[in-house]
Amino acid sequence: MNVQFRESTEAASPLTVKTAIADCDIHPARATRTELYPYLAKRWQHHLEVYGVHAYQGMMEGPPYPKAQPNASRRDAYPPEGGPQGSSLSFMRKQLLDPNNVELGVLNPLNTGQGIRNHELSAALCSAINDWQIDKWTSKDKRLKASIVVGNEDGLSAAAEIRERAGDKNFVQVLLLSRNVEPLGQRRYWPIYQAAEEAGLPVGVHAFGFGGNPITPSGWPSYYIEEMVGHSQCQQSALASLVLEGVFERFPKLKMVMIEAGFGWAPSLAWRLDKVWHRLRSEVPHVKRPPSEYIREQVWWTTQPMEDPERREDLFDVIKWIGWDRLLFATDYPHWDYDEPSRVLPAGVSDANREAFYLGNARKLYGIAA
């Protein structure tokens, strides 16, 4: 949603044109079906033409809840030269980067090689996506930085991809999705966290994914709106797993970013985890501290889709618990629930918190010098 504050309360405080921002969730798209082919071996080009791609889900292709228009994107985001929304760098500059003075834009490609049953194909597609990000995007505009996409269900090949890209200034984080074959704290994913920690790269966990399981604990919902609301539930499950399986204790320098699932639920999840941990801590001796401590120290949050409570002070109570230094502004461009930068924060936010919110936190997390 585009978060707006009602006129009956505080009006939104618009950004000036000169206010630089970091956009920590931009979705680049491929202009054509075969755009990745130059980055794939002939073997995999042939495989895609003959056998296609098979994800961990019942549907042969596409998401379980189609969003009624290509790429789930804004209708005004179609590039004038053709192609799907998000596929044109020149139009992205015109529509997003330049008018909003985006100083840092983090690319999070979706519809990649993640969640594919053929792990070799998954690794090949993810590597191709990473080469494509450099060739088409980051090498053409230095404001843009890429996320390392990895074949998430094969921890060893994913770790190898991270180590191959480590030190490449085109990349600022590793990208995972929230719906996987198993909860993200499971040991099959630990090589990913180890490689990311060694490389000093945050791990972003983005909403969506192809894990082959229903998106609720009791089956498939009837409507797309239930899937959208359910993103926060998937993220909560992923975060609880990371804490309780001991990932943060085992990898104390690991930094996680929860992307595109809101953040208003963070305090209540942490409170509940703490309460139960105090009673059942003997079951998880590897979790040596209250879960809330790991969350507050090792987790960051992108803002979109930012919750919009009727009482503004409720939102600021949540932010106070999380910390202004843990929020990363994001638009979700070019998707339909894009957040306009000037309509997110109300008046009354201090200059220091505003600067951290829009730019400073991202610079610090991703190691981008001013």
Q: pLDDT tens, 283-342? A: 999 999 999 999 999 999 999 998 888 887 788 889 999 999 999 999 999 998 889 888
The pLDDT, as a whole number, for residue 178 is: 94
Q: Mean pLDDT of all residues in the chain?
A: 91
Per-residue model confidence (pLDDT) at position 218: 85
59: which DSSP letter? S
Report the alpha-carbon distance of residue 226 to residue 322 in Å, rounded.
Answer: 26
Quote the CA–CA distance of 277 and 283 in Å, as a whole number: 9
pLDDT number for residue 309: 85
pLDDT higher than threshold 50 for residue 6 = no
Residue 3 pLDDT greater than 70, yes or no: no
pLDDT for residue 216 is more than 90: no
* Beta-bridge mates of residue 259: 206
Amino acid at 356: A
Give 69's pLDDT tier (boundaries 50, 70, 90).
low
Quickly state the pLDDT bin for 15 (edges 50, 70, 90). Answer: low
Give the C-alpha separation, 354 to 344, whole Å: 11
In whole angstroms, give the CA distance from residue 187 to residue 168: 27
d(CA 319, CA 322): 5
What DSSP string runs through 121-133? Answer: HHHHHHHHHHHHI
From residue 261, how far is each of 135, 184, 238, 301, 332 by CA, in Å?
Answer: 29, 16, 12, 9, 11
| pLDDT above 70 as % of the chain | 91
| Pairwise CA distance, residues 248 & 265, whole Å | 20
| Measured CA angle at 86 (ends 82, 90), to 5 deg | 70
pLDDT attached to residue 60 = 53
Q: Which one is predicted more confidently, 248 or 313? A: 248
| Complete edge-to-edge strand list for the sheet that includes strand 203-206 | 21-26, 102-107, 144-149, 171-177, 203-206, 256-259, 299-302, 327-328
| Least confidently predicted of 36-50, 207-221, 270-284 | 207-221
pTM, to two decimals: 0.93
Given a cut of 70, whether residue 81 has pLDDT beyond it is: yes
pLDDT digits (tens, 9 = 90+) for 99-126: 999 999 999 999 899 999 999 999 999 9
- Residue 279 three-state SS: helix
pLDDT-derived band at 370, boundaries 50, 70, 90: confident
